[in-house]
Amino acid sequence: MFLEPRIGDESRGWIEVIAGPMFSGKTEELLRRLRRAKIANVRMAIFKPQIDVRYGQNRIVSHDANYFPSLEVGHAADIRKHTKNAELVAIDETQFFDNEIIEVCEELALKGVRVICTGLDMDYLGKPFGPMPEVLAIANYITKIHAICVQCGYPATHSFRKLKNKERVMLGELESYEARCRKCFAEGMAAQEKFT
């Protein structure tokens, strides 16, 4: 569970990570934290990767259609240009950024900024995704969120790709992916291999 910093720690920055599979509510949890920060008049800078065009431009959007304005950036280094007065920096879909995102997060935290990153911790093969393992390693606080397995109803930790596309990055929603528990994910992967 995320703990708020102690009184007197306002000048200390930190890194929070919200991780889990697709359809687990990662962006919704980010939006909840941003709404609370907005009430407190915290100066925010919110970013998403340029590659993520599923819900349109210049906003992060949850699967429930809740959103916050954001800035699209092509590379992690671009974030530095837009965080001058920010007290909180939010980065959605962190797995799609290049590895420089790790350095950017560290720099911001050392400057006293609260950094919140969301992302898939595993790709469609169940392997660590992009820079997420390193971002998780440097985080002060980690919130691991689970979805519900569509096969059995147990907590889902994996994003199962229903299509036979072997590209590591393939944007999609319910037509392309479903949340699965470890067992149902393994069974689905075995079935796909059997028929290829």
Catalytic residues: 93
Distance in angstroms (rounded) separating the CA atoms of residues 4 and 17: 14
Residue 86: count of CB within 10 angstroms of its CB: 19
What DSSP state is assigned to residue 174?
A: T
Residues present in the chain in total: 196
DSSP states of 8-66: T-TT--EEEEEEE-TTS-HHHHHHHHHHHHHHTT--EEEEEETT--TT-SSEEE-TTS-
Alpha carbon distance 25, 41 (integer Å): 24
Write b or e for each residue in 56-81: b if 16 or more Cβ atoms lie within 10 A of its Cβ, otherwise e.
eeeebbbbeeeebebbbbeebebbee
- Determine the Cα–Cα distance for residues 95 and 77; give it in Å rounded to an integer: 15
- Partners of 159 in the beta sheet? 179
Q: Which residues pair with 67 in a beta bridge?
A: 61
